[in-house]
Structure 1
Amino acid sequence: MEEHGGRRWPLVVLASSPFHGHMTPTLQLAKALHAHGFSIAIAHSNLNPPNPSNHPSFTFLPLSDNLSTIDDSGSFSNFIQTLNKNCKPSFQEHLTRLIGEQNGGNKSIVVIYDHLMFFAGIVAVDLNLAAIVFRSCSAAYFPAYLVRQQLHQESRFLEQDYVMQEMVPNHHPLRYKDLPFSKSPVEDMQQLVAIMSQSIRPSTVIWNTIKVLEHEALTQIQKHYQVPVFAVGPLHKIAPTNPPTNFLEEDTSCIAWLDKQAPKSVIYISFGSLMRLDKKVLTEMACGIAKSNQRFIWVVRPGSVCDSEWTEFLPEGFIEETRERGLIVKWAPQKEVLAHFAVGGFWSHCGWNSTLESISEGIPMICQPFNIDQMVNARYVSYVWKIGFELEGLESGEMEIMIRRVMVDEEGEEMRVRAIGMKEMVKEAVQNGGCSYDSLEELVGFISSC
């Protein structure tokens, strides 16, 4: 940015991790800040890089990570540690160069970094730059993470020491089973907690959420950090335009298919960009979908099903039986799908981006969480906001019943009314005078004062 009101504003450098669910909201935040006049640079790993042609106004700073893939089969903590260690030198080189260039114009630099890329905060502080952490998860996840962290520090582990269905004391509405959980070994979780403790205390925190939606959790976060906390979500509604941020090619033909369907008649099924799914569970899903006799769009990423290239796991006869009422695609333009008049339900893993997108369009959910923050999100969707049902069992009979509860039963219609009310809440939050609109304005003021 050059000058506004005779004052030069900082260059904003955003550092994102290579996960789709993190890169997408980071780019949306960048678009929102750019619309307010800031110059933007995106620091990214060479693994899953964004496409610069989609963002011609941004500068892109590639980071040498020496990684060829996101390892979802080994140690997640080792992956994060390697990512931070390998990216740090090139990030420091980029910032040092930018400082030299900006000082010539008497212009400062502010670093906003994905919390998984904690090296960026360390480098920023070492170079006397303002460091702002960006969290793309729900606010409710953070207090739950602190509980899990405390348990690990006390050498107590959910899988060994607790009845998972019991409530966590002083943390209503969470059960022990809702706390952040990973299939990684206990030792890996301990290591991850130790790694994340290396992060510095930021000068402020940005959260992709809505104050009126998660006020209590945001209050706890502010008390924890003792710095300003800006809730500026949902960013996909805040950002003025949303060029593609997907790492996968979208099959837009599904929109034409939806155009031919009746209002609220289709359930959309997608478990995000990272999940690896068990063949047996997917087979049960297929049977439940077939028995429900409901229309559907089902996203099955190639290679996402164990021991299958794509749809080989489907039971014999499934395609023929559902051909007239179903569509299977490799990837879908999810925001457009959820906004379509024909979609009446969303069967989701409850990643936070997906949850926000569903809330923003007033779509009730079937929640099938797998790990990390997804259990917390599912609990709030089903128990607090009451705009979804959590799938507790993984048998086809229960899945069939759950689909019908959401799509055709009276309780599903009651849930849809509540979901529409939350859609209106989102609309008000992002409009002039709304809580997210005002929070973004305050964030702009904070960054410009750095």
Structure 2
Amino acid sequence: MAITTGKKPPILAFPYPAQGHVVPLIKLSRLITTHRIKVTFVTTEHICEKLLSSMLDHDGLPPQDDRCNAFKVFESLKNTAGGYLTDLIEKINESNSDEKISCVIADVTIGWVLENVEKLGLEGVAFAPVSAATLAMTLHISKLIEEGRIDENDLNMQKIFFECSLINQKAAYRAKWLLCNTFYKLESSACDLIPNLLPGKLQFCLCREDTTCLSWLDGQLASSAIYVAFGSYAVFSQHQLDERALGLELSGQPFLWVVRPDLANRSWVEFLDGFLERVGSTRIGKIVKWAPQEKVLCHRSIGCFLSHCGWNLTVEGLSKGVPFLCWPYCVDQLHNQKYICDKWRIGLRIDPDGNGIRTRIELKKKIEMLFHDDSLRVNALRFKKMAMESVDQGGSPRKNFEKFIDHLKE
């Protein structure tokens, strides 16, 4: 779908079809269109439906397959999307000689797209929705293995993640520009490891938001409420969700919890009904399907953010000066947790027990520790100030974006 029209040579944007990847790239595309540059945003039917419901390309999977299975989607895109995308670009360029695609922005996760772009004689730009530190690590995995610093068999990651890292590396080296959803002061040492990196902070949301939670937050004390959100992919066992719910209830702190309809099975939904009766009667808890996240994190009543440490959520929370309770789910989220807890010191880990379960007692304990540790909030507010300075007029993200726009207009 084309976002808008413009006078300059148009570009095409192609993200990996998951909210954490689509969200920042669609925001970037919208910013680009404000400079009268046309952007054609290409995504799968599944994501397109989400986009249309919140405000045609085919992904290669049969109708019965799970579009929320990241590994299936990755393999399918690798096998089918290249041909579709090439055909689409050729059709666009043949249909209007005055508006031929001149540049393609592609997610580094599907960086092989840039090889197709190069064959068509177009400029390729790589986009990374992860932290600069995670990106730097993945770009150097091959070298680290060659030097014997890490063992490919002991990476504690899926084969597909390793393959994705190699694709990231090729895409990053192939592209003149590598755009990243971060800001320089936050990750200066990591940014310096990637010569063609252009950092900049972006936000957006695909899902329909429930704004009733804002009036509920209005009724809570300042810095007292826990915001609980785990993104669009994470799925947990019924036992683990029980423990999370009971830990929140035991803490006695008010909480706003985003619970997606696909988060668990029917049995847990039945448990949730009884849980809601208890916490709802005391106004200690509210559950919504999706929340206006930026407004929630800015709200005076929010005291901490219980999160899976996805990078987009991490940047949002950090930019609002909110301390974290960390519950990582997979891949780069473990790395982000280390930064949050050990480097930036703005959060605490929720540690699993010997069976891999994060218990209600552990969650209650860490909630109490966070609300009694003023240093975490002080550090979080320091990073909020840093983020605000970075996005002010003349800050590095603004300068970087203007530099990129000037290049597109050349």
Q: Does 1:144 align with 2:144?
A: no
Q: Deviations over 1:14-36 (max 9, x none)?
A: 11222011111111001111122
**Matched-pair contact (CA < 8 Å) for 1:284–1:395:** yes
Which residue of 254, 271, 279 corresponds with 2:238?
279
- Are 1:363 and 2:362 counterparts? no
Aligned counterpart in structure 1 of residue 361 of structure 2, from 397, 402, 409: 397
Q: 1:53 to 1:252 in 2, by over 3 A?
A: closer
Tell me: CA distance 1:147–1:203, structure 2 relative to 1, closer, same or farther (3 Å).
closer
Question: Would the alpha carbon gap of residues 203 and 425 (structure 1) be closer, same or farther in structure 2, given more than 3 Å must change?
Answer: same
Pairing of 1:43-442 with structure 2 (within 5 A):
43-49=42-48, 51=51, 62-67=56-61, 68=63, 69-70=65-66, 76-101=70-95, 103-104=97-98, 109-146=102-139, 161=154, 182=157, 184=158, 187-189=159-161, 192=164, 199=171, 201-222=174-195, 228-233=196-201, 235-236=202-203, 245-246=205-206, 248-305=207-264, 307-308=265-266, 311-314=269-272, 319-320=277-278, 323-324=281-282, 325-393=284-352, 394-407=358-371, 409=372, 411=373, 413-442=374-403
- Contact 1:112-1:131 within 8 A present in 2 as well: yes
Q: Taking structure 1 as reference, are residues 382 and 362 closer, same or farther at Cα in structure 2, changes over 3 Å only?
A: same
SS of the residue corresponding to residue 387 of structure 2 reads: helix
Q: Cα distance, 1:212 vs. partner?
A: 0.8
The C-alpha deviation readout for 1:80-106, integer Å capped at 9, x for no partner, is: 12113222222112211222345346x
Instruction: Mark the CA change 1:383 to 1:370 in structure 2 (over 3 Å): closer, same or farther.
Output: same
8 Å CA contact retained: 2:134, 2:332: yes
Q: Does the CA contact (< 8 Å) of 2:209 and 2:290 recur in 1?
A: yes
CA distance in 1, matches of 2:106, 2:25: 9
CA 1:102–1:316: 2 relative to 1, 3 Å: closer
Label 1:314 to 1:275 Cα distance change in 2 as closer, same or farther (>3 A). same
Query: Alpha carbon RMSD of aligned pairs, Å?
Result: 2.8
Select the structure that is richer in helix: 2
Name the aligned partner's letter for residue 220 of structure 2. Answer: Q
**1:111-148 C-alpha deviation (Å, 9 max, x unpaired):** 10112233431221111000001001111112332465
Structure 1 CA distance for aligned equivalents of residues 170 and 136 of structure 2: 18
Query: Aligned with 1:369: secondary structure?
Result: coil
Report the Cα distance in structure 2 between the residues aligned to 1:152 and 1:276, rounded to whole angstroms. 32
Number of aligned residue pairs: 395
**Contact 1:13–1:43 (CA under 8 A) maintained in structure 2:** yes
The range that moved more, 258-267 or 310-319, is: 310-319
Q: CA deviation at 1:288?
A: 1.6
Q: How does the TM-score come out when normalised to structure 2? A: 0.87
Matched-pair contact (CA < 8 Å) for 1:85–1:119? no
Gaps of 5+ in 2: 353-357
Q: What letter is aligned with 1:129?
A: L
Aligned-partner Cα distance in 2 for 1:431–1:345:
25
Identify the range of structure 1 (390-399 vs 206-215) with the bigger mean alpha-carbon deviation. 390-399
How far 1:192 moved relative to its partner?
A: 4.7
Give aligned-pair identity as a percent: 28
Cα distance change of structure 1 residues 104 and 48 upon mapping to structure 2, 3 Å threshold: closer
Q: Does 1:30 align with 2:29?
A: yes
Cα deviation, 1:335-390, whole Å, max 9, x if unaligned, reads 22111111111000010110011011111110111111101111111111111112
Q: Distance in 1 between matches of 2:314 and 2:307?
A: 8
Stretch deviating more after TM superposition (312-321 or 82-91): 312-321
Q: Which blocks of at least 5 consecutive residues in structure 1 are unaligned? A: 4-8, 56-61, 162-178, 223-227, 237-241
TM-score, reference length from structure 1: 0.80
